Amino acid sequence: MSVSRTDFEQALAVGRPPNIVRLFPNSKALIVSGKVIDRALRAKGKAMTIAANGRNNFIIRGALLAAQRANAAIIIEIARSEGGANAYCPVNYWNMAMQVDQAMNELGITVPVAIHADHYGIKKEADLDFAKVEIPTIFEAGITSIAIDASHLPDDKNLLTNLALTQLVPAWAGLETEIGEIKGDQGLSTPAEALFLIQGLNAHNIFPDWIALNNGTTHGIEESGQGIQVGLTAEVHAGLARYQVSGAQHGTSGNSSERLREIVAKTSTTKANVATALQMVSWGLQVNDYGNAILDADGNFIKVKDAGVTENMWREMVGYAEANGWKKGDPMKYTLPRAMMYNEHAGDLNFSFSGLKTAVRKLILDLRGKHCLDQALPDLAASFEYTICHTLLMKLKKAADFTNPQEIHIAGGVSANLRLRKMLEKTFSQSTYILYPSLKFCTDNAAMIGAAAYFRYMVNPKKYAKWQSSVPDIELKFY
């Protein structure tokens, strides 16, 4: 660190929020409010740091070491879906500060670090009562910054939700708000939407440090010519200039360093969320400038010796994945069309996969022409699967908004898809019961057609004699 020991000790004495002082009274870790980091970056001008998704301890330690090497402030964060109640990551809202403090003291990290509760999502008004109980507990556990994400709701409900929940956020803490659900079905954010939310909050003496937009980004890795719309972001930020609110850029994995520099140069962004790319780096994989893992000729990850996790740990991880039958393929590698999701169909329940199939066919022909189809197939298959699941999920969410069901029943062949099941459980786990049949009952239409043909054949074998060679000698079982 470039400051003197005396200055560092003074920063420790005055810079740590009261919850951090209470939790770690003898710590030498400079854990600060997200508000402090944002204001420092604004004062420097055209500066942005990363908000590293700390979904496991590998990433936390690696991100802290990188920040120390760069002599740069950093934010460690995790989203509610990953680290909230009933989430799936070992790092969560209630132990993240402890893990960060321990790592900073062990590794000698002296740069300022904020602990951010990202995407504290409110998807309907019924979620408010639980949130009012939970939010104070995460600040008690060491959170120093929070993103209230009610962007799933209409603009007026989004504002009212922010007004209700920001009363629970300490005045010293960093505060982020959001418009336009990321990769949602309502189109991109507009300057008018941003003004409505920020002016409404300011009128009640609430002054967010950051605002996040749906500006074309996704969660995960996306290498394409689309993605983050820098021009739109700059337009929104220009309209908010008098309100002194910075931008929070979500989904930066999959964007080149050139795109990220453009965001810094042309917008008021000070916080860039990074998750998927950091995971690849923390494992020690070869990646390109977009953060995408580079695969070998067999479509496998390439582990860089002595980078990221240890070689023994990597072998253990690969073995565990293979033992559990986890599929290869990056579902965010290819951005495929989602018909009837936007514009006049944004608010209805209609959907179609016709354009998707055509796009995949063209992509296959293009990849085959470039002699890289075999290597691309795992990513293409995963992206195709994800696009279908995402489309079904968005329309089901819309149906749930209309009907507010207590239970959702999923049946038929599609209900056997494990990715769809996980996405549904992640989306509705806190609000609605999701029920499926046992996998043996999740039959596809082809099975039903085959069964009908079998019985028709058995009634009149002579009529269907030409089928003789193709009808197996089977015994049907009924459950």
- Domain extents for the chain? 5-294, 328-441, 444-479
Q: Which two tokens stand for residue 199?
A: 């002016």
CATH of 5-294, one of 3.20.20.70, 3.40.630.30, 3.20.20.140, 3.40.50.1100: 3.20.20.70
Instruction: Concatenate the DSSP letters of all residues of 55-119 into one string.
Output: SSHHHHHHHHHHHHHHT--EEEEEEHHHHSTT-S-SS-TTTHHHHHHHHHHHHT--S-EEEEEEE
Nearest to 140 by CA among 305, 20, 265, 8: 20
pTM, to two decimals: 0.69
Predicted local distance difference test score (pLDDT) of residue 221: 42
Phi/psi at 123 (5° precision): -100, -15
Residue 400, Cβ density class (10 Å: 0-12 exposed, 13-18 middle, ≥19 buried): middle
Predicted local distance difference test score (pLDDT) of residue 435: 83
Q: Do the bridges between strand 145-149 and strand 49-53 make them parallel or antiparallel, or are there none, so unpaired?
A: unpaired
Q: Tens digits of per-residue pLDDT, 376-420?
A: 788 888 889 989 998 898 888 888 888 888 888 888 778 888 888
DSSP E strands in 154-290: the ranges are 174-178, 210-212, 246-249, 269-274
Residue 146 and residue 166: Cα distance in Å, rounded? 9
- Residue type (1 letter), 282: S
Instruction: State whether residue 55 is helix, strand or coil.
Output: coil
Nearest to 219 by CA among 352, 81, 38, 417: 81
Predicted local distance difference test score (pLDDT) of residue 228: 82
pLDDT profile of the chain (479 residues), mean per 10:
84 97 98 98 96 93 94 96 84 97 97 96 89 97 97 93 97 95 64 96 98 73 58 95 96 81 96 86 84 73 89 90 70 80 72 85 82 76 89 88 86 82 78 76 72 80 65 48
* 218 Cβ contact list (under 8 Å, min separation 6): 182, 183, 227, 251, 254, 332, 335
Supply the CATH classification number for the domain 328-441. Answer: 3.30.420.40
Average model confidence (pLDDT) across the chain = 86
The C-alpha angle with vertex 263 and arms to 257 and 264, in degrees rounded to 5, equals 90
Predicted local distance difference test score (pLDDT) of residue 460: 81
Q: Which two tokens stand for residue 439?
A: 């996998």
Predicted local distance difference test score (pLDDT) of residue 325: 59
Are residues 391 and 341 in contact, defined by beta-carbon separation less than 8 angstroms? yes
